[in-house]
Structure 1
């Protein structure tokens, strides 16, 4: 192992990076139902931190904190995946919305508007927003799941347990597709993602920046998730 980050014990490691684990856990919990216990997320995050320390290789180009953040987030998401607490109706409606967006954009060549998606689904606009709200509150946002499952860090960083060149090429191709899909999002959706993930603002704070309600930010956020899911359907 090539660790340049050395600790006398796991306790010292945990003490120094516990705030990072807590920050990531709280950020992810904000998008989950109240039934998800924070302590479970923190425990999974701590396991991710220890795994990051065991596998970290500074020669790959990422700082330990960057790499640890990726591993912590991935460990928490994996823990949530193991407990299937999402109702089947939510899975079904998520697919319906994604399919509707795909059909509209394939037909028109333009971004699907909220009203168009509602019409395609045969529901009112308010009912469509209710479906988006259920999706937002009942599961992790697709962006988190997709990035975590890619097992990639920023730049050229590849984890030590990389399974081989073919998988690496596939992940590189996927990440390019993901980046392209995000870049092609409508400007407001792209801004919400940037404020939420890059700036770590919560929905209320984003609403204050944009001058809209927290519920409207939630709708925009969910709409972006559905649009990404639609545009990355070949990877699912």
Structure 2
């Protein structure tokens, strides 16, 4: 639905006030995402998509579900921006392939050793030098594979299912179990990677600011962020492979649109 059509469909009183109050939230999320996107992505496109997400949030928000409007709107806005980015995947197929190889290497090493896979071990497993491995991480910084929101496949599905009285209880519990497992996986990241994730996604610092906190270069922060996302995907692979049958067709459809 276009932004104009969506706006016309929302008849809630005070909509203009809601949009006006949260327009800054749209811009904040857009600029935060821009920090790890290539230069050909236009900030105006993200903001426009985010405004559509804000309108969707205003139309669908139910305060009885417990989440504040700003929390719910933030999820919708970010999801709308990601949908816009999905329309053109600028990342070469080779980058996706190498990213999958790294995640698989991490999973194999951690299954064998019972501890976090180290940079040098992953590089050796892949037959790469350490500098080549770091370059793979650097190249993949803007790849959608590493998006924390993408790991949750848009992030708002749990809220949607909880708000939908027709959603099967088992499916809702499974979604909640996934969220808990993801939280545990984040908590189990190496300290530096966990700190990068926290500063980026919770404190909403940009990569340069995180580098200043950690005392490392911005490019090193990019590598740590990419490595953290790969490690999370490797550790959550069992959940992704064992998705509920009802959720599989929709997820496959979304993935097919990204190829």
TM over 0.5: yes
Q: Aligned in 2, Cα 1:153/1:210: closer, same or farther, shift over 3 Å?
A: farther
- Are the counterparts in 1 of residues 53 and 77 from structure 2 also a CA contact under 8 Å? yes
- Are the counterparts in 2 of residues 55 and 159 from structure 1 also a CA contact under 8 Å? no
Partner of 2:190: 186
CA shift at 1:8, angstroms? 4.7
- Are the counterparts in 1 of residues 12 and 59 from structure 2 also a CA contact under 8 Å? no
Partner of 1:208: 212
Alignment of 1:57-68 (within 5 A): 57-68=62-73
Counterparts of 1:14 and 1:89, CA distance in 2: 41
Counterparts of 2:118 and 2:165, CA distance in 1: 42
Counterparts of 1:107 and 1:189, CA distance in 2: 21
Q: Aligned in 2, Cα 1:160/1:36: closer, same or farther, shift over 3 Å?
A: farther
Counterparts of 2:88 and 2:49, CA distance in 1: 13
Q: Aligned in 2, Cα 1:205/1:234: closer, same or farther, shift over 3 Å?
A: same
Q: Aligned in 2, Cα 1:21/1:134: closer, same or farther, shift over 3 Å?
A: same
After the TM superposition, which of the residue ranges 140-149 and 130-139 deviates more from structure 2? Answer: 140-149
Counterparts of 2:145 and 2:21, CA distance in 1: 27
- Are the counterparts in 2 of residues 56 and 64 from structure 1 also a CA contact under 8 Å? yes
Alignment of 1:40-51 (within 5 A): 40-51=45-56
CA shift at 1:13, angstroms? 2.8
* Cα deviation 1:2-57 (Å, max 9, x = unaligned): xxxx9755443322211000001111121111111211111111111011011111
Counterparts of 1:44 and 1:162, CA distance in 2: 29
* Cα deviation 1:147-166 (Å, max 9, x = unaligned): 35342579xx9345874323
Partner of 1:232: 236
Counterparts of 1:88 and 1:140, CA distance in 2: 12
Counterparts of 2:58 and 2:165, CA distance in 1: 13
Counterparts of 1:158 and 1:24, CA distance in 2: 24
* Cα deviation 1:175-202 (Å, max 9, x = unaligned): 1111111011011111111111111111
Q: Aligned in 2, Cα 1:68/1:161: closer, same or farther, shift over 3 Å?
A: farther
Question: 1 or 2 for the larger relative contact order (CA 8 Å, sep ≥6)?
Answer: 1
Give me the CA root mean square deviation: 2.2
Counterparts of 1:229 and 1:120, CA distance in 2: 18
TM superposition score normalised by structure 1: 0.89
- Are the counterparts in 1 of residues 196 and 225 from structure 2 also a CA contact under 8 Å? yes
Partner of 2:181: 177
Q: Aligned in 2, Cα 1:123/1:28: closer, same or farther, shift over 3 Å?
A: same
- Are the counterparts in 1 of residues 99 and 230 from structure 2 also a CA contact under 8 Å? yes
| SS of the residue 2:154 aligns to | helix
- Are the counterparts in 2 of residues 105 and 112 from structure 1 also a CA contact under 8 Å? yes
Counterparts of 1:15 and 1:207, CA distance in 2: 33
Counterparts of 1:161 and 1:145, CA distance in 2: 25
Runs of 5+ unmatched residues, structure 2: 1-10, 241-259
CA shift at 1:138, angstroms? 3.4
